[in-house]
C-alpha cells in the first residue's frame, strides 16, 4: 500500500469575459453601436467644419497669406508653393515685398530655378550681395521669417531692431559641399540662403560665429536657428558640422532637417 500523499486535484478556471454591453439584447447592442458611430462621424465633421472656418493661414488647404502670423499649417502652405509657381507669385503679390521675376542664365540644367525672383525690398534689408535672387518659395519663407522670427527675437534678447541681414548669398551652381560628384546643392536652384549674421540698429553686428559665446547674443542666435525650422525644410547651423561654423544654411528643399 502506497504511503505517498494524494495530490489534490486542481480546477482550471477560465477568466470570464467582461460583456461591455451588459448582457443587452442584440437589437439594443446594434442601436448602441449605431449611436457611437453617429457621434464619431459628427465629431469628424465638426473638426472639418472648424478647420474650414479658420483663416487661410491656419487651414491645411487654405492659400498662403504671407501677411498672416505663423500658424499650424503655415509651413505646409509655404512648401506647397514649391510646386505651384503661379500660386507662389500670387502669394508674393499679396504681400508688401517688392521683387522682379528673373530667368536663370546658367546653361547647366541642374542649375536652374522655378519662378525665380530678385528681391528689392522686404521686411528687413539684406547686405551685399544685394538684391538676393531666390526661388519664389524661398522668398516667401524669408518674408515670414524676417517678420515673425528674426525681429521678435532681436527685440526680446538684444533690445534692438535688425537693420540688415548679412549673408553669403543664395544662388551657387554647385553640388553639396562643393564636391565633384553627388547630389546638387539647393543653392544650385537658388533655393537656399546662408545667413552669416545680423547688423542691428545700434550698430552692433551679431555674427553666427559667436554662436557659443553665451549671453544675449547666443540666446538670440539659438532662438533664430530653432524657430527657423518652423518655416524652412532644411536648417543647418554651427552644431551641424565645421562647414557651418559661421552661418545658418536655410533652404526650401525636399529633405527635412533641423540641426
Q: Is the pLDDT of residue 208 over 60?
A: yes
Last residue in a domain, options 62, 87, 106: 62
135 shares a domain with 253: yes
Q: Is the pLDDT of residue 54 over 80?
A: no
Q: Is the pLDDT of residue 55 over 90?
A: no
Q: Is the pLDDT of residue 1 over 50?
A: no
The residue length of the chain stands at 259
Q: What is the domain-level CATH number for residue 246? A: 3.30.1380
% of residues, the chain, pLDDT over 90: 65
Give tens-digit pLDDT for 152-173.
999 999 999 999 999 999 999 9
249 shares a domain with 122: yes
38 shares a domain with 146: no
Give tens-digit pLDDT for 2-18.
444 454 444 544 555 44
> Do 219 and 157 contact (CB within 8 A), yes or no?
yes
137 shares a domain with 158: yes
Would you say residue 21 lies in a domain?
A: no
Q: Is the pLDDT of residue 43 over 70?
A: no
If pLDDT is split at 50, 70 and 90, which confidence band does 52 have?
low
DSSP string, the chain: ---PPPPPP----PPPPP-TTTT--HHHHHHHHHHHHHHHHHHHHHHHHHHHTS-GGGSTTSPP-TTSPP-TTHHHHHHHGGG-HHHHHHHHHTSS-EEEEE----SSGGG--SSEEEEEE-SSEE-SS-SPEEEHHHHHHHHHHIIIIIHHHHHHHTSS-EEEEEES-S----BGGG-SSSSBPGGGGT-EEEEEEEEETTS-EEEGGGTTS-HHHHHHHHHHHHHHTTT-SEEE-TTT-GGGTT-EEEE--SS-EE-
Summarize the confidence of residues 139-152 as an average pLDDT: 98
pTM: 0.78
Would you say residue 240 lies in a domain?
A: yes
Domain count, the chain: 2
Mean of the per-residue pLDDT values of the chain? 85
The pLDDT score that the predictor gives to residue 62 is: 64
Q: Is the pLDDT of residue 35 over 50?
A: yes
160 shares a domain with 47: no
Domain span at 40:
29-62
Give tens-digit pLDDT for 237-259.
999 999 999 999 999 999 999 99
Amino acid at each position: 500500500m502506497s504511503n505517498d500523499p494524494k495530490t489534490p486535484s486542481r480546477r482550471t478556471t477560465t477568466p470570464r469575459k467582461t460583456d461591455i454591453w451588459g448582457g443587452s439584447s442584440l437589437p439594443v447592442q446594434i442601436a448602441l453601436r449605431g449611436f457611437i458611430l453617429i457621434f464619431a462621424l459628427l465629431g469628424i465633421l465638426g473638426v472639418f467644419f472648424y478647420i474650414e472656418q479658420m483663416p487661410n493661414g491656419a487651414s491645411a488647404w487654405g492659400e498662403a497669406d504671407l501677411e498672416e502670423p505663423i500658424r499650424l499649417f503655415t509651413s505646409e502652405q509655404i512648401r506647397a508653393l514649391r510646386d505651384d509657381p503661379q500660386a507662389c507669385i500670387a502669394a508674393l503679390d499679396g504681400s508688401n515685398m517688392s521683387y522682379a521675376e528673373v530667368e536663370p542664365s546658367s546653361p547647366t540644367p541642374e542649375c536652374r530655378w522655378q519662378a525665380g525672383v530678385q528681391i528689392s525690398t522686404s521686411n528687413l534689408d539684406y547686405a551685399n550681395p544685394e538684391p538676393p535672387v531666390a526661388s519664389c518659395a524661398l522668398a516667401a519663407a524669408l518674408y515670414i521669417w524676417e517678420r515673425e522670427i528674426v525681429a521678435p527675437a532681436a527685440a526680446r534678447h538684444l533690445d534692438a531692431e535688425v537693420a540688415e541681414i548679412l549673408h553669403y548669398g543664395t544662388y551657387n551652381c554647385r553640388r553639396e559641399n562643393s564636391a565633384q560628384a553627388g547630389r546638387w546643392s539647393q543653392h544650385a536652384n537658388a533655393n537656399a540662403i546662408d545667413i552669416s549674421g545680423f547688423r542691428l540698429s545700434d550698430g552692433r553686428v551679431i555674427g553666427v560665429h559667436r554662436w557659443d559665446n553665451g549671453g544675449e547674443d547666443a540666446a538670440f542666435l539659438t532662438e533664430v536657428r530653432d524657430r527657423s525650422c518652423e518655416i524652412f525644410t532644411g536648417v543647418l547651423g554651427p552644431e551641424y558640422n565645421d562647414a557651418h561654423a559661421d552661418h545658418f544654411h536655410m533652404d526650401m528643399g525636399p529633405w527635412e532637417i533641423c540641426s
